[in-house]
Amino acid sequence: MACKTAGFIVRPKPSYQSLGLRNCKDYADLAVQEPGASETTAIEIGLVHDGTQHKWRIKLDADAEKIGRFKNGLQIVIVASAKEQVVSSSRGRFWLNPSPHWGKVPDLQATVDLLPTGQMVISGWVWRQHES
């Protein structure tokens, strides 16, 4: 909503093919384009909570691989727990530490305490391919 209010063009669930990624039948969560710009930013958002199973790590890894193929991409991962402090738990660290092939720490990160004992961490990785 904030992007639309600011005049950005926002498309939910665009196909990767419509964003220029050939041979990929998947869909991104969002595509955002700044007014007057020719480039679009593909966005993937993942939510991890107390009941999330480890198999979803494979999906987050696949999202990172796909988003990394765009000229401009953003991956956001939200890790929330009502039971424990995410940053100090082994389960939380599993989700907060990207897979080795990502090879980068988050570009953006915010932590919010959830009363009485929980915590939420929002992390974002910006993917940019530089033209040579």
Kindly tell me the burial class for residue 5, based on how many C-beta atoms sit within 10 Å of its own C-beta (0-12, 13-18, 19 or more). Answer: exposed
| Alpha helices in 9-55, H assignment, sequence order | none
Q: What is the pLDDT of residues 7-41, one digit of tens each?
A: 889 999 999 999 888 888 899 999 999 888 888 99
| 29-54 mean pLDDT | 91
**Backbone angles phi and psi of 91, in degrees to 5:** -65, -45
The pLDDT tens digits for 96-131 are 776 654 567 888 999 999 989 999 999 998 887 754
pLDDT, position 12? 95
Residue 119 is predicted with a pLDDT of 95
Specify whether the CB–CB gap between 121 and 87 falls below 8 A: yes
Q: What is the pTM for the complete model shown?
A: 0.86
Domain map (residue ranges) of the chain? 2-128
